[in-house]
Every structure is written in structure tokens, then in C-alpha cells.
Amino acid sequence: MSSVLSPEMKRRAGGRDLRIVFDEATIAARVQELGEEITAAYPDGELLVLGLLKGSFIFLSDLVRQVNRPLHLDFLVASSYGAGTVSSGNVRLLYDPETPLEGKHLLIVEDIIDSGRTMQKMLSLLATRRPASLAVCALLDKKLLHVPIPEVRWVGFPAPPAFLVGYGLDHAEDFRHLPFIGDLI
């Protein structure tokens, strides 16, 4: 995997130097595997995939196209980080799905789990809606930084303890549109 940005990618990144941590092909291969595992895992019944905005939007759209069964989609909007790179722990739900959640298999799709606070908060909120099941598919997990969360059933990649951007992940709203995941250097 090359860690040097092409001139085109450096231009897209606003001239910032980034180190590529997961390139496009690596991400695509893993997303396909996750889609196959999710397809195989769910019994009959309604599957509602809930993407946590904004960070999951690219992962979500690639992932659902690899899931070979009927499903519905909605979004959750939580606020946690401001423009900083450290979790504030102050998580709020800004958008709540309009679809009823009771009796459905809920699969939350998240970009990255860091301290785990955002996910713990979402899970406790959603558990009160009496879903048939509640599980999480996270693209990245900084596993060493939080206690295990049993609902996190699928993880794309264990994440290094760096601040990652690209493929939906931002730093102060920059870099979401990059097709790879990198860290700021």
C-alpha cells in the first residue's frame, strides 16, 4: 500500500500531507466481506440500517450495496465533537428516525468508535424502542481506548490511535470526500 499522495490527491486534500492508512482497494475488499457477513447473519424479518451522520455516509452507501437481502435505510444524527479532535463526551441526538423501530432488526452503521461514548449513548437510546435486535457495524474501531461494546458485531478495521480522515471521516469538516483513509502528518 502506497503512503505517498499523488499530486491529484494532495490537491483534493487542500495541499495537506496525509499518510494513507487504508487505501481504496483495501477498503472495498473489506466492505464486500462485511456485506456478505451481514447478508448471512440476519434471519427473516425487517432489517433497518441506521447510518450515523455525517461520518458514515460513504461507508454506508458502499456497504448497503453489498448486502443481498431486503432492507430499509434511515439516519441518526448525533453531535459529539466540535472542531476539535478530542471527544467531548457530550452526545446529543439531533435527528431521530421517523420510521417506527419496534420489532425491527436495527443495524447501526458508524464510521469510527473512539472512546465509545457516542455509540453507548445511541445504543441506550435505541434499546428503549424495543427493536427485535440491535447491532453495530463500525468501519473503524480504536478498540484499545474503550471497554468492549457487545453490540459491536462487525468492525472493518482496528484503528491506530491516530486521528483519521477521509472516506467520510472529517477534521473540522475537511477531507470527507477523499476516497482513502489517512492520518494527518
Residues catalogued as catalytic: 114
87 binds, options ligand IMP, Mg ion, none, Cβ within 5 to 8 A by partner type: ligand IMP
DSSP 76-125: EEEE---SSSS--S--EEEE--SS--TTSEEEEEEEEESSSHHHHHHHHH
Residues in the chain: 185
123 binds, options ligand IMP, Mg ion, none, Cβ within 5 to 8 A by partner type: none
- Of the candidate spans 14-22, 35-43, 80-88, 147-155, the one that interacts with ligand IMP by CB under 6 A turns out to be 80-88
DSSP 108-176: EEEEEESSSHHHHHHHHHHHTT--SEEEEEEEEE-GGGS---TTEEEEEEEPPSS-EEBTTB-BTTBST
Is 55 one of the binding residues for Mg ion (CB under 5 A)? Answer: yes
151 binds, options ligand IMP, Mg ion, none, Cβ within 5 to 8 A by partner type: none
Nearest to 151 by CA among 184, 185, 173, 118: 118
Is 113 one of the binding residues for ligand IMP (CB under 6 A)? Answer: yes
Among 47, 107, 108, 114, binds ligand IMP (CB under 6 A): 114
Question: What nine digits make up the cell of 13?
Answer: 486534500
Q: How far is the CB of 2 from Mg ion (least distance, A)?
A: 26
Sheet holding 164-165, edge to edge: 18-22, 181-184, 164-165
Is 80 one of the binding residues for ligand IMP (CB under 6 A)? Answer: yes
26 binds, options Mg ion, ligand IMP, none, Cβ within 5 to 8 A by partner type: none
Considering the complex, state which of residue 3 and residue 68 has its C-beta at the smaller distance from ligand IMP.
Answer: 3
Binding-site ranges for ligand IMP (CB under 6 A)? 55, 80-81, 87, 110-119, 163-165, 169
